[in-house]
A and B are shown apart, each in its own frame.
Chain A
Amino acid sequence: MIEIESVCKSYGGARVVDDVSVTVPAGGITSLIGANGAGKSTLLSIASRLLPADSGRVLVDGMDVARTPGPVLARRLAVLRQENTMTVRLTVRELVAFGRFPHSGGRLTAEDRARIGEALDWFELAPLADRHLDQLSGGQRQRAYVAMVMCQGTDYVLLDEPLNNLDMRHSVQMMRMLRGMADELGRTVVLVVHDVNVASAYSDRIVAMRDGHLVAAGPTAELMTPELLRKVFDVEVDVHELGGRRIAVPWS
Chain B
Amino acid sequence: MTRTLTGPAVPTAEQRATRRRRTLVVLAVLAVAAGAAFLTVGVTGSWDYALMMRSRRVAAMVVVAVAVAFSTVLFQTVTNNRILTPEIMGFDRLFVLIQTAGVFFLGAGTVTSTDPRIRFAVEVVALVAFGAVLYKTLFSRTERDVFVLVLLGVVLGAMFTSLTLLVSRLIDPNEFLTLQDLAFASFNTVDQQLLVLSAVVVGIVAAAVWRLLPRLDVVALGRDTALGLGVEHRRVVNRALVAVAVLVAVATALVGPITFLGLLVANLARQLLGTHRHAWVIPGAALLAVLALLGGQLVLEQVFGFNSSLSIVINFVGGIVFIALLVREPRQ
Contacts and interface: CB of A to CB of B under 8 A. Distances in A.
B222 A86 contact: yes
Interface string B201-233: 000000000000111011011101101111110
A130 B80 contact: no
B11 A98 contact: no
Nearest to A132: B10
B225 A105 contact: no
B222 A106 contact: no
Nearest to A97: B13
A98 B220 CA distance: 11
Contact of A81 (B214, B220, B224, B276): B224
A152 B229 contact: yes
A131 B10 contact: yes
A87 B80 contact: yes
Contacts of B80: 87
A85 B215 CA distance: 19
Nearest to A106: B214
Contacts of B229: 74, 98-99, 101-102, 152
A81 B213 CA distance: 24
Contact of A130 (B2, B224, B228): B2
Interface in B67-83: 80-82
B4 A73 contact: no
A84 B213 CA distance: 22
Interface residues of B, number: 28
B44 interface: no
A93 B16 CA distance: 12
A130 B12 contact: yes
A36 interface: no
A79 interface: yes
A127 B232 CA distance: 34
Contacts of A102: 229-230
Contacts of A101: 214, 218, 229-231
Given A89-B276, A135-B7, A48 B228 contact: yes
A241 to B, nearest CB: 38
A64 B213 CA distance: 28
A87 B228 contact: no
A117 B276 CA distance: 22
Contact of A73 (B16, B214, B230): B230
A206 B330 CA distance: 39
A201 B136 CA distance: 44
Contact of B228 (A50, A85, A90, A129): A50
Among A48, A73, A80, A87, find the residue whose CB has the most chain B CB atoms closer than 10 A: A87
Contact of B230 (A72, A81, A89, A93): A72
A152 B7 CA distance: 30
A231 interface: no
Given A86-B222, A129-B2, A91 B13 contact: yes
B306 to A, nearest CB: 38
Contacts of B220: 86-88
30 contacts: A49-B227, A50-B228, A70-B227, A70-B232, A71-B230, A71-B231, A74-B230, A79-B224, A79-B228, A81-B224, A84-B225, A85-B222, A86-B222, A87-B81, A88-B276, A91-B13, A98-B218, A99-B229, A101-B230, A102-B229, A102-B230, A105-B214, A106-B214, A106-B215, A106-B217, A128-B4, A129-B13, A130-B16, A131-B7, A152-B229
Given A99-B229, A149-B228, 18 more contacts: A48-B228, A50-B224, A50-B227, A70-B227, A74-B230, A80-B228, A84-B225, A88-B220, A88-B276, A94-B13, A98-B218, A98-B225, A98-B229, A101-B214, A101-B231, A102-B229, A127-B4, A131-B7
Interface of B: 2, 4, 7, 10-13, 16, 80-82, 213-215, 217-218, 220-222, 224-225, 227-232, 276
Interface of A: 48-50, 69-75, 78-81, 84-91, 93-94, 98-99, 101-102, 105-107, 127-131, 135, 149, 152
